[in-house]
Amino acid sequence: ILNVEQSPQSLHVQEGDSTNFTCSFPSSNFYALHWYRWETAKSPEALFVMTLNGDEKKKGRISATLNTKEGYSYLYIKGSQPEDSATYLCASMNTNAGKSTFGDGTTLTVKP
């Protein structure tokens, strides 16, 4: 059974703090990892699609790294802003390309 775990479950930070979350996934037959941001009352928004070991991707103040050999990915947010408050989800695809397994997400709250 494929298990994708995210930690921490929730995080409260002050505006301006930098933060990071972890996504752990099975390393065997890895195919791709997706990161999403899901704000309340909105649809999930794609952040990154990562496939190669050692991949590093960046979008504004958000960046992500990927280690497929040990099965983890980190998401970093530099200088958190209140608008970064959301649940951040990762989804792993192993063996069956296109069949995603999602983690439960990390809920970030950024206080002004």
Partner 1 sequence: KAGVTQTPRYLIKTRGQQVTLSCSPISGHRSVSWYQQTPGQGLQFLFEYFSETQRNKGNFPGRFSGRQFSNSRSEMNVSTLELGDSALYLCASSLSWGGLNEQFFGPGTRLTVL
Site size for partner 1 (CB under 8 A): 23
Q: Which is nearer to partner 1, 80 or 94 (CB)?
A: 94
Q: Which is nearer to partner 1, 28 or 96 (CB)?
A: 96
Check: CB of residue 83 under 8 Å from CB of residue 74: no
Q: Is residue 60 within the footprint of partner 1 (CB under 8 A)? A: no
Chain residues in the site for partner 1 (CB under 8 A): 31-32, 34, 42-46, 49, 51, 89, 91, 93, 96-105
